[in-house]
C-alpha cells in the first residue's frame, strides 16, 4: 500500500521558481557589477542578432555565470549594458527556469520527475539525493554550500531515465545507488567530470 504522504497532505510548499509573494524580495548577490570581460562579451553578443533585444537570453547566461545566480543587480546590469528597459530584462529572467533567481550550490543536482522518469523510479532517486546531500528540493543550498537539489521537467532523456542533471550537464544514464555514490564522491573530491567525458 502506498503510504499517505507526509507532511500534511495539502501542505503547499512554494516551488523555488514560483513568483515572489507580495513584499518578498529576491536575494541579493555579493557582486553588484559585471566583470569587464562579461560586459565586453555581452556587447559583442548584441551585434550578433538582427535586434539587440535578442541578446537578452544569452546575456543573462553570461551574467548568471559571473554572479553565480541571476540576482536583481545582475538583471539591472544586463539592462544597462544592452541598453534595453530594466522591466524587459526582469520579465525575461523571471520567465525562464534555467535562470536561477536564488543562489544554488556548487553542484546543482536536478532530477527529472516527469512521467517516463517517474515510472522508472525518479521519486526514489530524488528522495535519496535529498537525503544524501542534506538539501531539500527547491529549498536552497545545503549548509556547506556544496549542494542544491531541484525537481525538473523532462530533459529529453526519457528512455534511460530517471534522468539526472548536474549543473549544465545531463547525466545520460540510469543512475542507481552505486552510480549515485560514485558521482557524489567525485563532486566532494572536486574532480567531477561531465557525463561522457
Partner 1 sequence: MRSKADPQLYTFAGFGGERFPNLMLRGAGNLDNWKRAVYEQKHEGYLALKKALKMEPVAVTNEVKASQLRGRGGAGFLTGLKWSFMPKDTDQKSHVRYLVCNGDEGEPGTFKDRAILEYNPHQLIEGMIIGAWAMQCKVGFIYLRGEFLWLLEKLEAALQEARDAGYLGQNILGTGWDFDIQTYRGAGAYICGEETALLNSLEGRRGEPRSKPPFPAQVGAFGQPTTVNNVETLAAVPVILQMGGAEYAKIGSPGNTGTRIFCISGHVKRPGLYELPLGTPLDFLLNDLAGGSSTGKAIKAVIPGGASAPMFDAKDFDCPLDFDTPKARGSMAGSGGVIVMDEDVCIVAAVLRLTRFFAHESCGQCTPCREGCNWMLQVLQRIEHGQGRMEDLDLLASLTPRIALRTLCALGDAACGPVDSSLQKFRHEFEHHIVHKTCYAQGHQLLAATAIH
Among 20, 40, 98, 185, which residue sits at the site for partner 1 (rule: CB under 8 A)? 98
Among 20, 28, 49, 177, which residue sits at the site for partner 1 (rule: CB under 8 A)? 49
Residue number, 111 or 184, with CB nearest to ligand FES: 111
Residue number, 30 or 43, with CB nearest to partner 1: 43
Distances in whole angstroms, Cα of residue 5 to Cα of each of 8, 10, 11: 7, 10, 10
Residue number, 112 or 126, with CB nearest to ligand FES: 112
CB of 2 to partner 1, least distance (A): 5
Residue number, 9 or 36, with CB nearest to partner 1: 9
Which one of ligand FES, partner 1, none interacts with residue 70, CB within 5 to 8 A by kind?
none
Burial class of residue 64 (count of CB atoms within 10 Å of its CB; 0-12, 13-18, 19+): buried
**DSSP helix/strand/coil, 111:** strand
Which residue from 30, 27, 32 is spatially nearest to 16, judged by alpha carbons? 27
CB of 137 to partner 1, least distance (A): 6
Output the nine-digit C-alpha cell for 27. Answer: 536575494
Count of helices and strands (H, E) across the chain: 7, 4
Among 28, 86, 127, 182, which residue sits at the site for partner 1 (rule: CB under 8 A)? 127
Among 34, 60, 62, 184, which residue sits at the site for partner 1 (rule: CB under 8 A)? 60
For 61-97, the DSSP string reads: HHHHHHHSS--HHHHHHHHHHHT--HHHHHHHHHH-T
Amino acid at each position: 500500500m502506498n503510504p499517505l504522504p507526509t507532511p500534511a497532505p495539502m501542505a503547499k510548499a512554494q516551488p523555488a521558481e514560483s513568483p515572489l509573494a507580495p513584499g518578498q524580495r529576491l536575494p541579493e548577490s555579493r557582486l553588484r557589477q559585471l566583470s569587464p570581460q562579461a560586459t565586453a562579451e555581452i556587447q559583442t553578443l548584441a551585434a550578433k542578432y538582427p535586434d539587440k533585444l535578442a541578446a537578452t537570453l544569452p546575456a543573462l547566461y553570461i551574467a548568471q555565470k559571473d554572479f553565480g545566480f541571476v540576482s536583481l543587480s545582475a538583471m539591472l546590469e544586463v539592462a544597462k549594458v544592452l541598453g534595453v528597459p530594466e522591466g524587459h530584462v526582469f520579465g525575461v529572467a523571471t520567465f525562464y527556469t534555467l535562470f536561477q533567481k536564488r543562489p544554488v550550490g556548487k553542484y546543482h543536482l536536478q532530477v527529472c520527475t516527469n512521467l517516463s522518469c517517474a515510472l522508472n523510479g525518479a521519486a526514489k532517486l530524488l528522495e535519496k539525493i535529498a537525503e544524501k546531500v542534506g538539501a531539500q528540493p527547491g529549498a536552497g543550498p545545503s549548509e556547506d554550500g556544496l549542494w542544491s537539489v531541484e525537481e525538473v521537467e523532462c530533459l529529453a532523456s526519457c528512455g534511460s531515465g530517471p534522468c539526472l542533471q548536474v549543473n549544465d550537464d545531463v547525466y545520460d544514464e540510469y543512475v542507481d545507488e552505486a552510480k549515485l555514490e560514485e558521482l557524489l564522491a567525485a563532486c566532494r573530491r572536486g574532480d567531477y567530470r561531465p557525463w561522457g567525458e
